[in-house]
């Protein structure tokens, strides 16, 4: 990760099904570079169940918008050629590209197999609630239109360990597939007893052929696209020992600088700690705990104690591997993990990820460009642009915290040799306030102004380097030297 790097998640859940995202991304490359973005996380780029699928209903991971499958050649986001053009445009501007990888399941099967299975309790998947019986499941993936191009692997029932529909009886349930050495993986989240099964046809990573094919695919995919890293979806549902093997494989093949980040949607620090240890710290983790702290703060307002905003977070306890974010596609309206940070607090939250020393911040497309379905939640592009500019030019060096008030908190960045100016940040989740903070004696006599434009009065730094910095209620101000 580059100094003061910033990731940009370049999609939201409800984008229109018009196949233009790759074109838009290509055209946006220069702008992203100019505002201080250093890497772009793109949505799943392979063929899903249809062009209206955001990409997480994975059908064919070898079809990047090249073959006529699932009703079209393009994916929701465009064709393979357009994907390559977007990646090349980003690389030309010096930006890294991180691809979204969904390993947990496959969807949109071409046909059915019959096999033995048992029903399990949805709230405790270790408890079976039926005798074994034969069911018919959608688990055959032939990819006839691709005609063995890139891979001749055909998926059958033995490559999965769970489904949620019996085509023979029409029954919906969670079925655990029976067979030799076949069970739920033990190295997954313990939610619902065992959270290996999430949706669709659940991939069995205990099967040696599945492991071999998946490692072959990722080698092909990285070489084919030229991406610089991967974002792993829903890792709490995937065998952690296989994830460790997978990460070893990509780092051995593409080097230790090849980037990896995982999404483990969990608010418990101890559970995330356990997972990080299980994979030997081989990838960064999205700081879901911090996101939930932001969410609660945005709901509670002045009743939230801002001194606790970083409690139990990854960025506090594992700063070197934390990817901090405010919102993402999973937190959007009508998603199962809906937890959208309210608009009034979002500039404060972005200040808390973009202007801090620790963490790799990620800006969400919906917060910057707006959301297709949530018209009432207008974007905060202007505020994010200002914060990104401050991150680029001022937010460097040592950090001194002034987390000494329930609502009004602040901190100072003292700058470094290359960026000596520094900045002073103050925010309030309640009423307006002031805070005396020291920016260093070298600044005495200087006039400091609020780069956010929220407070019009200027601050004069005294002989000791102190300034009395102001903030409006429910707002953030970031002061820098006028000179």
Strands 160-166 and 105-106: unpaired
Whether the Cβ atoms of residue 100 and residue 41 lie closer than 8 Å to each other = yes
pLDDT of residue 479: 98
- Per the model's pLDDT, the better-predicted residue between 266 and 462 turns out to be 462
With residues binned 3-state (H G I as helix, E B as strand, rest as coil), the percentages for the chain, rounded to 5, are 30, 25, 45
Asked if residue 281 and residue 362 are part of one domain, the reply reads: yes
**Is the pLDDT higher at 425 or at 333?**
425
Q: How many domains does the chain have?
A: 3
Whether 199 and 221 share a structural domain: no
Same domain, 348 and 253: yes
pLDDT (0 to 100) of residue 350: 98
Please give the average per-residue pLDDT across 288-302, as a whole number.
94
CATH number at residue 451: 2.60.40.1180
The pLDDT, as a whole number, for residue 376 is 57
What's the CA gap between 213 and 199, in Å, rounded? 21
Regarding whether 294 and 249 lie in a shared domain, the answer is yes
Give every CB contact of residue 303 below 8 A, 6+ residues apart in sequence.
Answer: none
Q: Which of 53, 164, 166, 233 is catalytic?
A: 233
Residue where one domain finishes, among candidates 358, 393, 428: 393
Question: For 201-211, b where at least 16 C-beta lie within 10 A, e where not — what string?
Answer: bbbbbbbeebb
1 occurs within a structural domain: no
Binning pLDDT at 50, 70 and 90, where does residue 132 land? very high
| 442 domain-assigned | yes
Question: Is 121 found in the same domain as 48?
Answer: no
Which residues constitute the domain of residue 167? 106-203
Which CATH number goes with the domain that contains 171? 2.40.30.140
Six-digit token string for 449: 């102004």
Confidence of residue 375 (pLDDT cuts 50, 70, 90): low
Pick the last residue of a domain from 393, 412, 427. 393
**Last residue of one domain, picked from the residues 393, 427, 460:** 393
Do 419 and 396 contact (CB within 8 A), yes or no? yes
327 and 457 in one domain?
A: no
The torsion angles phi and psi of 352, rounded to 5 degrees, stand at: -75, -15
Same domain, 198 and 165: yes
Check whether 374 has a pLDDT greater than 90.
Answer: no
- Residue percentage of the chain with pLDDT more than 70: 97
The number of residues in the chain equals: 483
Helical pair 208-225 and 240-254, crossing angle rounded to 10 deg? 40
> Does residue 322 belong to any structural domain of this protein?
yes
Indicate whether 464 belongs to any domain.
yes
Q: Does 137 score more than 90 pLDDT?
A: yes
Computed over its alpha carbons, how large is the radius of gyration of the chain? 24
Specify if 224 maps to a domain: yes
Question: Does residue 71 come out as left (phi exceeding 0), alpha (psi in the -120 to 50 range) or beta?
Answer: left
Q: Which helix (H) or strand (E) holds 22?
A: helix 21-35
Point out the catalytic residue in the list 119, 263, 266, 284.
263
CATH of the domain at 23: 3.20.20.80
Does 223 share its domain with 320? yes
Residue 233 annotated in active site: yes
371 and 418 in a single domain? The answer is no
CB atoms within 10 A of CB 192: 16
In a shared domain, residues 75 and 189: no
Q: Is the pLDDT of residue 61 over 60?
A: yes
Reply yes or no on whether the pLDDT at 467 is more than 80.
yes
pLDDT surpasses 80 at 332: no
Give 329's pLDDT tier (boundaries 50, 70, 90).
confident
Distance, CA of 366 to CA of 380 (rounded, Å): 9
The question of whether 27 is a catalytic residue gets the answer: no
- Whole-number Cα distances in Å, 169 to 133, 134, 165: 11, 10, 9
Q: Quick one: tokens of 472?
A: 């409006």
The number of helices, as runs of H, and strands, as runs of E, in the chain is: 10, 25
Residue 247's φ and ψ, nearest 5 degrees, are -65, -40
3-class SS at 134?
strand
Do the beta carbons of residue 76 and residue 48 sit within 8 Å?
yes
Query: Is residue 414 one of the residues assigned to a domain?
Result: yes
Query: Would you say residue 119 has pLDDT above 60?
Result: yes
Reported as a single tens digit per residue, the pLDDT across 148-199 is 999 999 999 999 999 999 999 999 999 999 999 999 998 999 999 999 999 9
User: How many CB atoms are closer than 10 A to CB 42?
Assistant: 25
Please check whether residues 384 and 403 belong to one and the same domain.
Answer: no
In a domain, residue 2? The reply is no
SS3 call for 366: helix
Residues 253 and 353 in one domain: yes
Q: Tell me if 85 is assigned to some domain.
A: yes
Given a cut of 80, whether residue 337 has pLDDT beyond it is no
In this structure, of 230-244, 319-333, 356-370, the range with the lowest mean pLDDT score is 319-333
Cβ burial, residue 306 (10 Å; 0-12/13-18/19+): buried
Whole-number pLDDT of residue 338: 78
């Amino acid at each position: 990760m580059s100094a003061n790097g910033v990731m940009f998640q370049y999609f939201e859940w409800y984008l229109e099904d018009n196949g233009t995202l790759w074109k838009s991304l290509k055209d946006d490359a220069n702008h992203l570079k100019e505002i201080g973005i250093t890497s772009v996380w793109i949505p799943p780029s392979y063929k899903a169940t249809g062009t209206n699928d955001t990409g997480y209903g994975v059908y064919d991971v070898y079809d990047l918008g090249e073959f006529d499958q699932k009703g079209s050649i393009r994916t929701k986001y465009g064709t393979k050629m357009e994907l390559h053009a977007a990646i090349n445009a980003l690389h030309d501007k010096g930006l890294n590209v991180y691809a979204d990888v969904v390993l947990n399941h496959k969807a949109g099967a071409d046909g059915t197999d019959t096999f033995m299975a048992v029903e399990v309790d949805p709230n405790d998947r270790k408890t079976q609630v039926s005798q074994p019986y034969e069911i018919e499941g959608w688990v055959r993936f032939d990819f006839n239109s691709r005609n063995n191009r890139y891979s001749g692997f055909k998926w059958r029932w033995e490559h999965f360990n769970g489904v949620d529909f019996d085509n023979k009886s029409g029954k919906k349930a969670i079925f655990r597939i029976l067979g030799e050495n076949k069970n739920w993986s033990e190295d997954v989240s313990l939610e619902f007893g065992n959270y290996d099964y999430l949706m669709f046809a659940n991939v069995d990573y205990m099967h040696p052929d599945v492991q071999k094919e998946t490692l072959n695919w990722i080698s092909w995919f990285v070489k084919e696209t030229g991406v610089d890293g991967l974002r792993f979806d829903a890792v709490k549902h995937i065998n952690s020992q296989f994830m460790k093997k997978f990460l070893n494989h990509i780092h051995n093949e593409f080097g230790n600088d090849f980037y990896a980040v995982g999404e483990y949607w969990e608010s418990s620090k101890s559970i995330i700690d356990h997972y990080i240890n299980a994979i030997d710290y081989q990838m960064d983790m999205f700081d879901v705990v911090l996101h939930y702290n932001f969410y609660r703060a945005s709901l509670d307002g002045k009743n939230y104690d801002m001194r606790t905003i970083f409690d139990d977070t990854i960025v506090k306890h594992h700063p070197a591997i934390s990817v901090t974010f405010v919102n993402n596609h999973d937190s959007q309206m009508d998603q199962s993990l809906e937890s959208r940070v309210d608009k009034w607090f979002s500039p404060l939250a972005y200040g808390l990820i973009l202007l801090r020393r620790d963490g790799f911040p990620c800006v969400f497309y919906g917060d910057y460009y707006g959301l297709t379905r949530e018209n009432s939640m207008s974007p905060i592009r202007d505020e994010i642009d200002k914060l990104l500019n401050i991150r680029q030019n001022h937010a460097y060096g040592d950090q001194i915290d002034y987390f000494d008030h329930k609502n009004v908190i602040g901190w100072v960045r003292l700058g470094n040799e290359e960026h000596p100016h520094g900045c002073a940040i103050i925010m309030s989740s309640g009423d307006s306030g002031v805070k005396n903070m020291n920016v260093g004696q070298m600044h005495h006599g200087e006039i400091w102004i609020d780069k956010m434009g929220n407070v019009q009065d200027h601050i004069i730094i005294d002989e000791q380097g102190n300034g009395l910095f102001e903030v409006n209620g429910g707002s953030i101000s970031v002061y820098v030297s006028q000179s």
